Structure 1
Amino acid sequence: MPLSTITGIGHYVPKNIVTNKDLMEVMETSDEWIRERSGIEERRYIDRTKETTTSLAVEASLNAIKDAGIDKNDIDFIIFATLSPDYYFPGAGVLLQRELGIAGTEIAALDIRAQCSGFVYGLATADNFIKAGTYKKILLVGAEVHSVGLDFTTRGRNVSVLFGDGAGAVIVEATEDESHAVLATSMHSDGTYAEKLAYMYPGAHGGYFLDKYAIEGFDVDYNLENTPYGGVFWNQDMLDKARIFPHMEGQAVFKMAVTKFPEVIKETLEKAGLGVEDLDMLIPHQANLRINQFVQKLMGLRDDQVHNNIQKYGNTTAATIPICLNEAYREGRIKKGDTVVLAAFGAGFTWAAAVLKWGKD
């Protein structure tokens, strides 16, 4: 049975740097407040008239394709992880195929909506497709554009200061060499707490879940007296009540993350027949530097065993791990033969990890 390995990697972030001090111009916050709670110093935002989630993905993909030394037409499957697609439908995978100029190949494109865990879910999916012999050269992308959908007022500061835009991509190919392959993956979810971190409007739920689970701060009064059909996906009342922005209960997310992160890392290392002592580099999802530091301390890892870059990019959700992985590799922090662990936790809640032997020089 073939195994899978990463043969190419690349990332791309917009050129527009937005610092904490820049955000102080539009909301009541401070550089110290943001750094203390998240570790973030700056993030990147797209040019709203020239860049999209897909365009960021194109740049990252071309970098990964070049790094792998393959032709873009050799790709036989696309996996696109994002929570911020350009359209509600169709998904971003087919848009990426078109913008890469490979639509004529008619290869399948799969979109993954596992939020911050999306890239690791995607790697697990690619790994299993390659093991099954279904595909041989898979383009896996994580890309996000958050800046166009955040509440840049004091009301929304707890969420808006955390997120940035960016994209990362890898080429996953078949190999028979276990010394540079994906060794194990794990994926989990628990929908009990779905609304603790959610972007609920626009949506097709019609208020059903908000009413059923009595989500704090949300009501189901849509003023629909003169709207016999439709009107609950999006309407003016939702705009007036600022319902169209992300909702997060930070403490609940933090508590769950610091529990599930170590669990899934240890679980996946055990699947690979390894222990924490065998880990050379941990690439954690970049949601909050405080979460990552807590997990690092809990697992007894040294600073040189963990790579963080949230300070520069903020939380780019599905893109954080490939961006972080590529940076660590380019900086020489990951070397051929190293045991690398990718781990993520995000909305849903979802969490996942992958253990791989790094195969690139």
Structure 2
Amino acid sequence: MTQTKIAGIGMYVPANVVTNNDLAQVMDTSDAWILERTGITQRRYATRFEETSAIMGVKAAKIAIENAGITAQDIDFIVFATLSPDYYFPGCGVLLQRMMNMKEIAALDIRNQCTGFIYGLSIADQFVKTGMYKNVLLVGAEVHSYGLDFSNKGRNVSVIFGDGAGAVVLQPASKQGQGILSTHLHSNGNGAEVLSMINPGFHGGCYNAEKKPQQPAKPYGNMFITPDRIRQDDFYPFMDGQSVFKKAVEKFPEVIQEALQANGYKANDINMLIPHQANLRISQFVQHKLQLRDDQVYNNIQRYGNTTAASIPIALYEAWQEGKIKEGNLVCLAAFGSGYTWGSALIRW
């Protein structure tokens, strides 16, 4: 069976740079506090009414397509990963297809938050290696800044996230042993509310009662925007940071080792590990756990914050551009996030 290679990579981040000191002007926080807990010094915010997840996804996709040496008309399948779509429905995949004047190809939208790019990579890999599609465009794009709570109540979450987009073009590999060696996906819904934004959604009473008790939903009501939902602040992201950290540092190394063992490798065989940029402390813990050198791990959360589904392709693009990923290298991608979901991919570049 043919293996799948990454033929082209692209990224886009908005021009608006927001520093920790900028955030300290609107909420009770400081550069030192944010830096110590997250490693972040700045992030990018989209320009309101001008930039959306689909628009930024198009900009990243154009670069990836150009780097792959093809045109938008050659793409035969789109996978779009985001937790911040332009519309509640339809998804961003068809919006990108329209903006890029592509053929009437399939467009799949996936909602796996921080693990979205890994899930999308696994999906695209199946289609390419079975011969169904030859040029798959995978996009991860996020606009978090439009939906964050910039009050003191929301500061623990809001200081972490930034906006951006990354994209890759996936094709059949031309060389033996080149491309995606394996992907590994997992989930555990017992932590679904620990990192979540409950609305907009159909409020049917499926909360984890230990986290947020509620009254049963009323027939024909209590869905989408209601006075109760507004009072409960369910329109803003919620995160139990300590719980997420504890689970992330457990599952990150575990799923990386799973990929290595499946292919007969050890951690020191990795040329470049690109973790989802969730928190610099998490990445450093994983690096220490796997006994990797600094030059074996790529982090750019310092400049962009957590861009969830976009973070891995953005980091992958920068690492590749900087010459830190070369042909023949063993590259590992890994992510953990809301759901809980987590996954890894091992690639021979």
Percent of aligned pairs with the same residue? 57
Does 2:234 correspond to 1:243?
yes
Distance 2:23 2:31 in 1: 9
Residue matched to 1:197: 195
Quick check: 2:3–2:178 contact (8 Å CA) kept in 1?
no
Whichever residue aligns with residue 181 of structure 1, its letter is: G
Counterpart for residue 270 of structure 1: 261
Q: Summarize deviations over 1:321-358 as a string: whole Å, max 9, x none.
A: 00000000101111111000000000000000000011
Alpha-carbon deviation of 1:60?
0.1
Aligned-pair distance for 1:44? Answer: 0.3
Instruction: Name the SS of the counterpart of 1:209 in structure 2.
Output: coil
Question: What amino acid sits opposite 2:317 in the alignment?
Answer: N
* 2:193 partner SS: helix
Instruction: Provide the rounded CA distance (Å) in 2 between the counterparts of 1:342 and 1:231.
Output: 40
Counterpart AA for 1:161? V
Match of 1:19 in 2: 19
Matched, 1:352 2:343: yes
Distance of 2:73 and 2:6 partners within structure 1: 18
Given the alignment, which residue of 193, 205, 209 partners 2:206? 209
1:46 aligns with 2:46: yes
1:147 is displaced (CA, Å) by 0.3
The alpha-carbon deviation at position 300 of structure 1 amounts to 0.1
TM-fit CA distance, 1:3: 1.1
More off after superposition, 117-126 vs 170-179: 170-179
Q: Is the 8 A contact 1:75 1:138 kept in 2?
A: yes
Instruction: Give the distance between the partners of 1:306 and 1:256, measured in 2 at CA.
Output: 20
- The offset of 1:256, in angstroms, is 0.6
Mapping for residues 63-142 of structure 1, pairs under 5 Å: 63-102=63-102, 105-142=103-140
Mapped contact 2:83–2:111 kept (Cα < 8 A) = yes
Say whether residues 1:288 and 2:276 are aligned partners.
no
The CA deviation string for residues 149-200 of structure 1, in whole angstroms up to 9 with x for no partner, is 0001001000000000000000000124234311111000001110000110
Contact 1:17 1:43 in 2 (8 A): yes
User: Aligned partners of 2:232 and 2:335: how far apart in 1?
Assistant: 32
Counterpart-to-counterpart distance in 1, 2:60 and 2:269: 30
Letter aligned with residue 76 of structure 2:
D
SS of equivalent to 2:85: coil
Shift of 1:202: 1.6
- The C-alpha deviation readout for 1:253-311, integer Å capped at 9, x for no partner, is 00110010011001111122222121100000000000000010011000000000000
CA contact (8 A) 1:119 1:321 kept: yes
* Structure 1 ranges of 4+ moved more than 4 A: none
Amino acid of the residue matched to residue 67 of structure 2? D
Q: Does 1:334 align with 2:325?
A: yes
Unmatched runs of 5 consecutive residues or more in structure 2: none
State the one-letter code of the partner of 1:126: A
Seen in structure 2, the aligned counterparts of structure 1 residues 44 and 220 have a Cα distance that, compared at 3 Å, is farther
Matched letter for residue 320 of structure 2: Y
The residue type paired with residue 209 of structure 1 is C
Kindly provide the amino acid, as one letter, of the partner of residue 41 in structure 1: T
CA distance in 2, matches of 1:198, 1:220: 19
Whole-angstrom CA distance in 1 between matches of 2:94 and 2:185: 25
1:175 paired residue among 173, 178, 182: 173
1:302 and 2:302 aligned: no
In the alignment, structure 1 residue 254 sits paired with structure 2 residue 271: no
Residue in structure 2 matched with residue 8 of structure 1 by the alignment: 8
Q: Matched residues in 1 for 2:233 and 2:25: separation? A: 21
- Name the count of aligned residue pairs: 349
| 8 Å CA contact 1:179, 1:337 repeated in 2 | no
Distance 1:89 1:232 in 2: 16
Q: Which residue of 2 aligns with 1:279?
A: 270
1:322 matched residue in structure 2: 313
Uncovered stretches (5+) of structure 1, i.e. residues with no partner: none
Q: d(CA) in 1 for partners of 2:63 and 2:211?
A: 43
Q: 1: CA distance between counterparts of 2:80 and 2:62?
A: 14
- Counterpart-to-counterpart distance in 2, 1:219 and 1:42: 37
CA shift, 1:76, in A, is 0.4
Instruction: Indicate if the aligned counterparts of 1:184 and 1:269 stay in contact, CA closer than 8 A.
Output: no
Structure 2 letter corresponding to 1:229: Y
Partners of 2:215 and 2:166 lie apart in 1 by: 38
In the alignment, the residues of structure 2 paired with residue 286 and residue 355 of structure 1 have an alpha-carbon distance, to the nearest angstrom, of: 17
Match of 2:58 in 1: 58
